[in-house]
């Protein structure tokens, strides 16, 4: 009962959150659950970066986001925090299957995202895994069914969606396309298109990129629904 009251409070606080507010400076100013707040504190994250301050409130409210900000501006937390919060508010458990999928252009970047997730998500109970190849398809496939969150590279993920029997993504709540410009530069357009075809349409999608290019807006058009456009430019 107490849990339900807390969840209700959290949902209300998000509804009432002004996504344009300039009052949101610290992570403690955001309506986040205790597990996320304590994970951020333990990881020594305190003040939001610009892209985080602009994107996180909108993403918490369930909007699709097209976010552009240069490398090093903190885009990882801009999608990991709303992702953890969405699954938390949905009271996601091991029985609910895959809730969130993060697509990254390279293995190295996927591993980096996974490491940040392990740090800030340490007080959550979700299961999370990497799908980046390097192991046999069969070994990976056996773990897939138990995962709530996956960080993947496009080709490998598509392989599982096409070939791994019983791998069910129909519950997916959130899709993240990280470093979308690099995903496109590296020639993953067809793989990502095919991947998205497998996913439920009722999901939330967050797309982040270091640059705004034509190929990124093409990808955004295919994957996002009425996106909020969030660009952070360097001060001249
Ligand atoms: P991007 O994906 O935009 O290139 P990252 O998410 O990799 O940026 O973050 C770049 C660096 O900034 C990382 O070392 C990360 O730990 C740090 N960082 C991110 N957000 C914050 C924050 N709110 N406060 C302090 N450091 C942060
Ligand atoms: Mg990044």
pLDDT value at residue 142 = 87
Ligand nearest to the backbone CA of 74:
1
C-alpha to C-alpha distance for 115 and 93, rounded to whole angstroms: 21
C-alpha to C-alpha distance for 231 and 110, rounded to whole angstroms: 23
pLDDT value at residue 101 = 98
pLDDT value at residue 234 = 67
Ligand 1 contact via 45 beta carbon (within 6 Å): yes
* Both structure tokens of 54: 């602009």
The Å distance, Cα 175 to ligand 1 centre, comes to: 20
What 3-state class would DSSP assign to 67?
strand
Burial label for 131, CB within 10 Å (0-12, 13-18, 19+), is buried
For the beta carbon of residue 99, count every other beta carbon within 10 angstroms. Answer: 23
pLDDT value at residue 166 = 87
Indicate which atom in ligand 1 lies nearest the CA of residue 71.
Answer: 4
C-alpha to C-alpha distance for 99 and 117, rounded to whole angstroms: 15
C-alpha to C-alpha distance for 235 and 46, rounded to whole angstroms: 23
Residue reference for tokens 């799908």? 131
Considering the chain, what is the average pLDDT of its residues? 95
pLDDT value at residue 134 = 85
Q: Which residues of the chain have pLDDT under 70?
A: 234-236
* Residue having the nearest C-alpha atom to atom 16 of ligand 1: 74
pLDDT value at residue 10 = 97
Residues 6+ apart with CB under 8 A from 25: 47, 48, 53
Per-residue pLDDT tens digits for 211-235: 999 999 999 988 999 999 999 986 5
pLDDT value at residue 135 = 83
Give the pTM: 0.97
Concatenating the DSSP letter of every residue in 141-204 gives HHHHTT-SEEEE-HHHHHHHHHH-TT---TT--EEEE-SHHHHHHTT-HHHHHHHHHHS-TTSE
């Amino acid at each position: 009962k107490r849990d339900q009251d807390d969840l209700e409070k959290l949902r209300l606080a998000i509804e009432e959150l002004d996504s344009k507010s300039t009052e949101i400076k610290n992570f403690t100013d955001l309506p986040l659950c205790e597990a996320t707040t304590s994970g951020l504190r333990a990881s020594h994250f305190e003040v939001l970066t610009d892209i985080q301050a602009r994107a996180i409130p909108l993403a918490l409210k369930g909007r699709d986001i097209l976010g552009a900000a240069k490398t090093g501006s903190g885009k990882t937390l801009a999608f990991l925090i709303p992702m953890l919060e969405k699954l938390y508010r949905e009271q996601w458990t091991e029985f609910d299957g895959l809730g969130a999928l993060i697509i990254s252009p390279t293995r190295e970047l996927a591993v980096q995202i996974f490491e940040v997730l392990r740090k800030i998500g340490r007080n959550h109970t979700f299961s999370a895994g990497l799908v980046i190849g390097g192991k046999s398809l069969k070994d990976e496939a056996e773990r897939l069914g138990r995962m709530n969150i996956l960080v993947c590279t496009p080709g490998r993920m598509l392989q599982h969606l096409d070939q791994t029997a019983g791998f069910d993504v129909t519950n997916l709540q959130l899709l993240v396309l990280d470093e979308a410009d690099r995903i496109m530069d590296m020639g993953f357009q067809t793989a990502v298109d095919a991947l998205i075809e497998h996913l439920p349409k009722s999901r939330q999608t967050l797309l982040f990129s270091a640059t705004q290019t034509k190929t990124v807006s093409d990808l955004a058009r295919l994957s996002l629904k009425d996106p909020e456009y969030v660009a952070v430019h360097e001060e001249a």
